[in-house]
Structure 1
């Protein structure tokens, strides 16, 4: 452990930072310090586990972080592993008893897209979403899954490449890799729909970019087709009541429709 960095972080924490993740200047660059938190096990996670057991669909298993030091160690191990295979993740600088320090990985992709939406730069917006889909496919090509590949957990680096942050969840250890990657895809397309619900073409662009990069015979599309098929009765049941559904439920319906049309065309 770097004693000077450790002292700086501890001094900063003692002053009160008001955030779990906060930036610092260290070694002439910006770094980020991420504090440990308690495990987030909730009733919903037990429901997920029950659904996974009943349906036989591994990707429904909960992947909540173990929290505490175990959660930090898990994320640190994931960062090391992904960096070794060339995935663009923050460099791991230090691991302490209740925090980790990582390098800066660029601007949050979701914020970059929102900025260009406000500017009316449709070409840039679409390019970002397409690049995100390709980047996720490349990550999957290395035989790993992210766990929560939402637009807010992707970054735009200085060289224009898409990187990834936030590896608290580790589906790789809780289900077959193909199922973990299928789960990634579901979360990715839902993230696009949720953030840009009035731009369905962005959802299609991100999904199509992923499939083209991963390949239509990619193993992860097998469990994805299975879960899409099993969700069809729920989709048909909810569709007539869409005007009364909440925002997330509606976004789920639209994302589901796009996936089904493509997977079963």
Structure 2
């Protein structure tokens, strides 16, 4: 089977597969083939690393994939590690020199949320966000960190549970586990703000559901409260240049404002110290 599947993949690639990730139906299975890409390291990542050291915020360290076969190997290792901890990730079916084959892990959660909102089903959208937040909290309670738990990297599996895909970034190799999990929380909430405009209530829903499931003594809370305090000067600078900011920067500013209104860093620190 391995030789036949490999031959099928190579044939598909030789005829010009569309996209870096493409579906492949093989002997009754829905599979996904993911190709290697060149390194994504940029000058910006050096600046980011310097800023992380200057601000003493480990979660700001860049976690970009090295690309090529090394990048695929790291992603496969990250996936297998989470699978061993019981996280709902796709099966690693096969690896090649320039690609990996993954099993199907459900449909993209972002699409379900947006469809629900477009159809006026606000209750369903809230339920999906709550389910996603609980899924991320469960992943953290199992001692793991995803790296990029955006709505587009979360899935709704056939059994209704939350699954995870896309493991190119592995923050656990760059920072303490608690910081990696705090980074996950920020990215998850930022994703809600970015994908679902003018619905800060859904960001609140996501945060409250995460905190309820992870608990007020969750490892991610201490570094999360720390980063909210330390990036305040950065927030002030961004506010000065707000009219010239791009979409992502504006979403980051809005997310920070909502978090600071919803999350009192001093209160979080007091709860952690009292534990």
Calculate the TM-score normalised by the size of structure 2: 0.92
Q: How does 1:174-213 map to 2 (within 5 A)?
A: 174-213=174-213
Q: CA deviation at 1:241?
A: 5.7
CA contact (8 A) 1:197 1:251 kept: no
**What are structure 1's unaligned runs of at least 5 residues?**
none
The 2-side partners of 1:116 and 1:36 are apart by: 34
Residue 10 of structure 1: CA displacement?
0.4
**1:1-265 equivalent positions in 2, closer than 5 A:** 2-239=2-239, 242=242, 245-264=245-264
Give SS of 1:155's match.
Answer: strand
Whether the aligned pair in 1 keeps the contact of 2:204 and 2:262 (CA below 8 Å) is no
The separation in 1 between residues aligned to 2:197 and 2:46, in whole angstroms, is 29
Unaligned runs of 5+ in 2: 268-275
Cα distance in 1 for partners of 2:199, 2:243 equals 19
Equivalent pairs counted in the alignment come to 265
Q: Distance in 1 between matches of 2:240 and 2:46?
A: 29
CA shift in 2, pair 1:219/1:238, >3 Å: same
- Cα displacement (A) at 1:83: 1.3
**Per-residue displacement from partner, 1:19-60 (whole Å, max 9, x unpaired)?**
110000112021000011111001110111000111111111
Alignment root-mean-square deviation, CA: 1.4
Is the 1:32–1:102 Cα contact (8 Å) retained in structure 2?
A: yes
DSSP 3-state at the match of 2:65: coil
Shift of 1:243: 5.1
Displacement after TM superposition at 1:258 (Å): 2.1
Distance in 1, Cα, partners of 2:39 & 2:2: 27
Please identify runs of 4+ aligned residues in structure 1 that moved more than 6 A.
none
Decide whether aligned partners of structure 1 residues 237 and 35 sit closer, same or farther in structure 2, where only a CA change above 3 A counts: closer
Q: 1:110, 1:192 → 2: CA distance?
A: 9
TM-score (normalised: structure 1): 0.96
